Structure formats: structure tokens, C-alpha cells
């Protein structure tokens, strides 16, 4: 069973289906993309089943609670590849479920604030269950899904659960001063008329207020936070220079977006469009700004493992970083505090074998911490190590130099 990417994730329907599988002792594999990281559709009654393998859990995107980390499988693919594999059947499911909106009293349904990989799923999977929410915001023009398409329709049992965020989101609180410095430094790098992609998290969002003085910025992103609306309202974001979707604010989903905002220019597209490599590489000055848990002295990025435990998916970071790095006038920018809340350095000598590399070192142009900017484009390994050490916390720099020398001589 495949669930839509949250906030299109139908928690009530998922809980009911898991309970039915439990009552009938049916083995169930659930593919989910929970951006909240809560997996709140699981109940205590499901625990024996996911522990003994009768309920198999797989994360396609989003975050995973620490207690479930060892039990949740994952695909080591970017979000664009996930969408492509759903569309061609390489990632297969018998049932697709989603939380949707009623288009009108007489017509069908729309996908609401999250399009994601739902169009690919609807095009491939025959059996479909819809949970219809009355509180779903109307976001931009969307194609109407015919009333006859779902196999089963049920009303939502409660309001949609706003995602707390993926990866760094929610975990980076406690660094307000650091984020302020990061926001200022990263915004200074962004040229006017750039096309922006912003990842989820406190550090990327800290850049937003410092872009207010720029002109003719564009948006082509994965998921847009509501904090971007004031920047749009101010006239800083117009999309006038974009190569694809000129004049439009393109994304595959929105979080906490003010109802009715966007002046008709906000448009949600499937992942096959928003994360497509060819479209992204041709975009005018694509600047991708994302966060992570760690970066090593070569520039390799870990956006999935915290404290040795896998708690997040890489999502679209690889898609956007690779394209922005290759785009004329574009750049891939990693933003994060130099230390975690408990004082551990986020700049490490080597990611090692205990953490998967989310983004390759070759696809990172800048790393920004609260201690400065490291420009990595066309830099040797030794230059990268020196520049990244210089933006680590001052108390961590000597140990980083010792570890670098021990690893590479």
C-alpha cells in the first residue's frame, strides 16, 4: 500500500487499514512519505506486527521517529527517482491512498496542498482510497480527479495535520542567533533575478527575510513554506526572469500557506516536473539552498543520519543540488549551524561508513555556517578541508585539522 506524501497523507484511513490488516492477520507493506516525522497513523496494536515483520514499513520521503528507525526501510533514491519508479511500476503497490479536497458539490476531487508523486500513483495503481477533508486549502489551479476514480471514499476524521517538517525542520530550534547570521551570509550570495529552491528547515527559512532587498527573484522548489508569502507580497519574487514557468511560483506542495495567497501565480506541479533534471538545469540562475545534519571536510553531505540513527530521507536535495551546481549562473548552497544543540560539530573530518552520503561533494558550491562561508567550487581536496575547517566552531578546528592529517596525510 502506497500513501501520498504528507500533508496528503490520510492518517485516519491509514490507521483503519492497518487495523483491518491486523484483525485479518494480513501481511501489509506500507510505503509512506511522512514530512512530520510522527508516523501518527500507527497505534500500539501495530507494534508487534512491525516488530515481527507482518507490517513492513518503508519511507519514501520525510522523517522517521527514532524509535522506528531500525524498523523502517528506505530507498536510496532522490524524490525524482522515487516518482519515476512509481510511474513505471518499479516501485509497485496494490493500493494507493491520499487525503484530498472536494472540488465542488457536483465534481470530483483535487489534491489540495500536496501534489507530490500522487499523479504518478493514480496513473499506475488501480485500487485507490480517498480520505476527503473539508479543511483542505485550495492552492492554485489543479486538475480535477473524476468522482469515479477512487475505489473507496471516506470523510476525514479530523483536520489535516500540518507537517512539523523534514530533516532539519523542528530539530534546529535553539540556534536563533546562529540562524540569523547564516541567513544574512547566505542571502548575500544570491544574485538578483536568481531562481530559488528552498529546502525544509530553520536554517533555509532564515535566509528568507534577508532576500527582501533583491529584485526579480523566482521560485521553483519542492515544498514552499508559508514564510515566503511576505517576500512575494513585497514584490521581491516575481518570476519574471525564469526560463520555465515564467511569472509563476512553482512547487509540488506548500506548508502553512495563507489561504488564497499567491495572486494566482502559485502553481503546484507533480514531482516529475518540479524535480526534473532537464527542467532544473535549464532554469535561469537556479540557486538551491538546503540544510543537513553534517558535512565532512571533502564537502560530502549527510542529511539523513543524526547520532548514528537514520531519522530523515534525502528527499529532493540531490535533485536540486546537482542541477543548481550544473546550471549557468546557479549554485548549490548548504546552510547549517556549526554545532548541534548539544555542542557537537556539524563539520566532521569524514562521514565514514556509519552515515550515508546524501549529496556528493562535487555537487556542493557553498557551505554557510554561523562562522562564515566556504566556497568549494573548483577547489582541491586540501582547499576544501581548509575552507570548511575555517567555518567550523573555533573550538572544533584544531581537532578537525588533526583528523584530516590522520586521514589523508
Specify the pLDDT at position 172.
41
Model pLDDT for residues 308-354, shown as the tens digit of each residue: 899 999 999 999 999 999 999 999 999 999 999 999 999 999 998 77
Give me the count of residues in the chain: 409
- Cβ neighbours of residue 325 closer than 8 Å, sequence gap 6 or more: 331, 332, 362, 363, 364, 365
Name the nearest CA neighbour of 324 among 373, 368, 362, 378.
362
Which residue is associated with the grid cell 530507498? 75
Model pLDDT for residues 20-64, shown as the tens digit of each residue: 999 999 999 999 999 989 999 999 999 999 999 999 999 999 999
**How buried is 53 (Cβ within 10 angstroms: 0-12 exposed, 13-18 middle, 19+ buried)?**
exposed
More confident residue, 75 or 140: 75
Q: Where are the alpha helices (DSSP H) in 160-200?
A: 176-189
**Torsion angle of alpha carbons 68, 71, 74, 76, nearest 10°?**
100
Q: What gap in Å lies between CA 76 and CA 16, rounded to an integer? A: 29
- Give the predicted TM-score (pTM) of the model: 0.92
Contact 292, 299 (CB under 8 A): no
Write out the three cell numbers for 3. 500513501
Instruction: Give domain limits for the chain.
Output: 2-155, 176-408
Q: Where are the beta strands (DSSP E) in 134-222?
A: 152-155, 195-198, 218-220
Contact 256, 226 (CB under 8 A): yes
Model pLDDT for residues 89-102, shown as the tens digit of each residue: 999 999 999 999 88
Residue 260: pLDDT band (50, 70, 90) is low
Name the nearest CA neighbour of 289 among 373, 213, 347.
373
46: Cα separation from own chain's centroid: 27
Superfamily of domain covering 176-408? Acetyl-CoA hydrolase/transferase C-terminal domain (3.40.1080.20)
Question: 293: helix, coil or strand?
Answer: coil
Q: Is the pLDDT of residue 163 over 70?
A: no
Which sign does the torsion angle of CA 159, 165, 171, 173 carry?
Answer: negative
Model pLDDT for residues 166-220, shown as the tens digit of each residue: 444 333 445 789 999 999 999 999 999 999 999 999 999 999 999 998 999 999 9
Specify the pLDDT at position 168.
42
**Fold of the 2-155 domain:** Glutaconate Coenzyme A-transferase (3.40.1080)
Write out the three cell numbers for 308. 548514528
88: Cα separation from own chain's centroid: 22
Query: What is the residue-averaged pLDDT of the chain?
Result: 91
Specify the pLDDT at position 174.
57
Model pLDDT for residues 225-239, shown as the tens digit of each residue: 888 988 888 889 999
More confident residue, 200 or 375: 375
Domains 2-155 and 176-408 in one fold: yes
**How buried is 147 (Cβ within 10 angstroms: 0-12 exposed, 13-18 middle, 19+ buried)?**
middle
Question: pLDDT exceeding 70 applies to what percent of the chain?
Answer: 93
Contact 390, 384 (CB under 8 A): no
Q: What gap in Å lies between CA 268 and CA 341, rounded to an integer? A: 35
Q: Is the pLDDT of residue 111 over 50?
A: yes
Specify the pLDDT at position 160.
59
Model pLDDT for residues 288-304, shown as the tens digit of each residue: 999 999 999 999 999 99
Cα-only R_g, the chain: 21
Q: Where are the beta strands (DSSP E) in 63-194?
A: 72-74, 95-102, 109-110, 127-133, 152-155
Specify the pLDDT at position 105.
61
Amino acid at each position: 500500500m502506497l500513501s501520498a506524501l504528507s500533508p496528503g497523507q490520510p492518517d485516519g484511513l491509514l490507521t483503519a487499514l492497518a487495523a483491518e490488516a491486523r484483525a485479518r492477520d494480513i501481511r501489509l507493506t506500507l510505503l509512506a512519505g511522512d514530512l512530520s516525522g510522527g508516523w501518527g497513523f500507527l497505534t500500539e496494536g501495530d507494534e508487534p506486527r512491525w516488530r515481527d515483520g507482518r507490517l513492513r514499513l518503508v519511507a519514501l520521503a520525510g522523517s522517521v521517529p527514532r524509535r522506528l528507525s531500525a524498523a523502517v526501510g528506505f530507498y536510496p533514491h532522490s524524490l525524482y527517482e522515487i516518482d519515476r519508479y512509481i510511474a513505471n511500476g518499479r516501485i509497485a503497490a496494490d493500493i494507493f491512498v491520499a487525503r484530498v479536497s472536494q472540488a465542488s458539490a457536483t465534481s470530483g476531487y483535487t489534491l489540495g496542498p500536496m501534489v507530490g508523486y500522487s499523479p504518478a500513483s493514480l496513473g499506475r495503481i488501480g485500487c485507490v482510497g480517498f480520505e476527503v477533508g473539508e479543511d483542505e486549502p485550495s492552492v492554485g489551479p489543479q486538475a480535477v480527479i473524476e468522482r469515479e476514480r477512487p475505489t473507496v471514499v471516506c470523510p476525514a476524521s479530523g483536520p489535516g495535520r500540518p507537517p512539523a517538517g523534514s530533516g532539519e525542520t523542528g530539530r534546529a530550534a535553539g540556534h536563533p542567533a546562529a540562524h540569523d547570521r547564516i541567513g544574512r551570509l547566505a542571502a548575500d550570495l544570491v544574485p538578483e533575478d536568481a531562481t530559488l529552491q528552498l529546502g525544509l528547515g530553520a536554517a533555509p527559512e532564515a535566509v528568507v527575510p534577508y532576500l527582501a532587498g533583491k529584485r526579480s527573484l523566482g521560485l521553483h522548489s519542492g515544498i514552499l513554506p508559508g514564510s515566503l508569502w511576505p517576500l512575494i507580497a513585497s514584490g521581491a519574487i516575481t518570476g519574471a526572469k525564469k526560463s520555465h514557468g515564467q511569472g509563476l511560483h512553482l512547487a509540488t506542495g506548500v506548508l502553512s500557506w495563507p489561504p488564497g495567497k499567491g495572486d494566482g501565480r502559485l502553481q503546484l506541479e507533480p514531482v516529475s516536473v518540479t524535480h526534473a533534471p532537464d527542467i532544473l538545469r535549464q532554469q535561469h540562475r537556479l540557486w538551491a539552498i538546503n540544510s543537513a545534519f553534517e558535512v565532512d571536510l571533502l564537502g560530502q553531505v549527510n542529511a539523513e543520519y543524526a547520532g548514528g540513527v537514520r531519522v530523515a530521507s534525502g528527499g529532493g536535495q540531490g535533485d536540486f543540488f546537482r542541477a543548481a551546481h550544473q546550471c549557468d549562473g546557479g549554485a548549490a548552497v548548504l546552510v547549517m549551524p556549526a554545532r548541534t544543540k548539544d555542542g557537537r560539530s556539524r563539520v566532521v573530518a569524514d562521514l565514514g561508513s556509519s552515515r550515508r552520503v546524501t549529496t556528493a561533494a562535487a555537487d556542493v558550491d557553498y557551505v554557510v555556517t554561523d562562522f562564515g562561508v566556504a566556497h568549494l567550487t573548483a577547489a582541491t581536496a586540501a582547499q576544501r578541508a581548509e575552507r570548511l575547517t575555517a567555518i567550523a566552531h573555533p573550538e572544533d578546528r584544531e581537532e578537525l585539522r588533526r583528523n584530516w592529517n590522520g586521514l589523508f596525510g
